[in-house]
Structure 1
């Protein structure tokens, strides 16, 4: 499917990845409708979204979804009401909001005749503690957080609908994205959290000794992968990451070097649900999507820091 000229629905379009994706879809010539809950945003975000059609609703309850699905060719599902660090505290809420909400979406898509979806899954949680590195898509799915368990369940239901009802479902197992618009500071997003806390002269808290290894991918690279997946005519599952691992301590050292900022670091007890070491095999995305990341961790962090400084210097809009 050619994205240009298509009617595309982005669920969670005012969120972190949703904003990057919506801007790229618009640049590619798509007609973009975003669905999100009512919330306030800085003026720069409103100006970025002023040419988009916006529908406010409630994904968990399904309010507004029928209207949002009317006439669309493709759905991007980027909604999640939980984060890995908090999901185990209330798995019932995780299931009732994210899993049941997605099942309701799939029912509404079938009723509306919408046959294409791209789902943002989690390359950092669905595999659990991997048996081999880098982790390929064929690795067993053994998550150790409710967040990952629900992501796997959604993947399985998408496969079910693909097999039984002809849904074209592409699943992107995204590692740890970072970049502009990442606002859940402290809850999710190590790089954004570290940078913001250094800027605010607040102590940085690291769970464990900082040796855990993660795969980090720049948000605009993720947006390109999402667009490419939306153009596919068949279903698939793809890891989206850098293909390289970096420890938390390495990331902190890099950010300190690039920003010139130094601050207090507090090491807290290790959390049992934290995967110790993981990074993704992205060869399938290279071959079948024609995608690979354009930004290394160093380049991505440098660009993120540059954009943050420019946004801080920009005059306020009246």
Structure 2
């Protein structure tokens, strides 16, 4: 949970969350409500009332339905665009489908934002995919972008169109390039993240599945810290339009697996290594110096602390006792 001191107050600001029922959407909606915003969350399926702050107004609808989106956008000041029909590393990528649903769908949404006089869009981009096989570590926002997945190409295209709408119509925007987010409420069914998938297997006593040799490096950031970055982006008035959001720390997938085994108290689980995926880059660590210089935002959750928090939530949902080795490794550092 984000403390008030770690985020700006948004008293009375009317905020629309596109994708309000998703992993980030629920956390962001609750965080916005705690900071005094008037929140409308838009999504296809209603959220469990136990997950969503009672002050959040829910609007059911599909992103492909312009009338439903226009109704949700009416009277809003800031829109958080979190929707995507695909996820990184999806098998059988369909660039045409990704373009039609995500990119063209976003263009229709931006037209609706202009009509509704929404003044700012905060977009969930992808720090894990837009850069591709980057030559530098950590990766700054100024690095070349060579995405090797349809998901990453789509995210980058939306960033460029946001820039175009800013140039043509004065629409304010901030695109946050997010690292590998994890935390409570992340689905294990939608291929959203390796942490959720491994925790699910560990708590179920199943072998841990690893794509490739497990030596690829990733930057992991707790969902509370991601939501906090979006709050700061909502009020940011500086010159930068694109900023990385991560921990700035790299962990191999093998290290993630080892930490999960210790945190869940099941150190003897076997690991099944599967063929590597074409969309996976060898290493991805984000340089977060820009956002920490431009805003008060800092990642607050250390890796082990965040992992324990996530494991405890998943175990409680399954009503499984968790025998956590809380003293394992130093929890300093974010991610």
**Closer/same/farther in 2, CA of residues 70 and 163 from structure 1, 3 Å limit:** same
For 1:154-174, what per-residue CA distance to the aligned partner results, in whole angstroms no more than 9, with x for missing partners?
A: 000001111221111001000
**Closer/same/farther in 2, CA of residues 186 and 167 from structure 1, 3 Å limit:** closer
DSSP-derived class of the 1:286 partner: helix
For 1:218-242, what per-residue CA distance to the aligned partner results, in whole angstroms no more than 9, with x for missing partners?
A: 0000000000000123552110000
Which deviates the most, 114-123 or 266-275?
A: 266-275
Structure 1: how far apart are the matches of 2:286 and 2:114? 33
Matches within 5 A, 1:114-193: 114-185=118-189, 187-193=191-197
Matches within 5 A, 1:28-67: 28-39=35-46, 41-42=47-48, 44-45=50-51, 48-67=52-71
Shift of 1:308: 2.9
Match of 1:286 among 292, 296, 303: 292
Contact 1:74 1:116 (8 Å CA) reproduced: yes
Shift of 1:215: 0.2
Structure 2: how far apart are the matches of 1:87 and 1:173? 22
Shift of 1:187: 1.2
Contact 1:87 1:94 (8 Å CA) reproduced: no
DSSP-derived class of the 2:181 partner: strand
Structure 2, gaps ≥5 residues long = 1-7, 321-335
Structure 1: how far apart are the matches of 2:172 and 2:74? 18
Structure 1, gaps ≥5 residues long = none
Which deviates the most, 261-270 or 72-81?
A: 261-270
Structure 2: how far apart are the matches of 1:89 and 1:104? 23
For 1:59-82, what per-residue CA distance to the aligned partner results, in whole angstroms no more than 9, with x for missing partners?
A: 134341111111011000010110
Task: Give the RMSD, CA atoms, in angstroms.
Answer: 1.7
Count residues with an aligned counterpart.
311
| 2:83 aligned partner | 79
DSSP-derived class of the 1:135 partner: coil
Contact 1:87 1:146 (8 Å CA) reproduced: no
Match of 1:259 among 239, 245, 264: 264
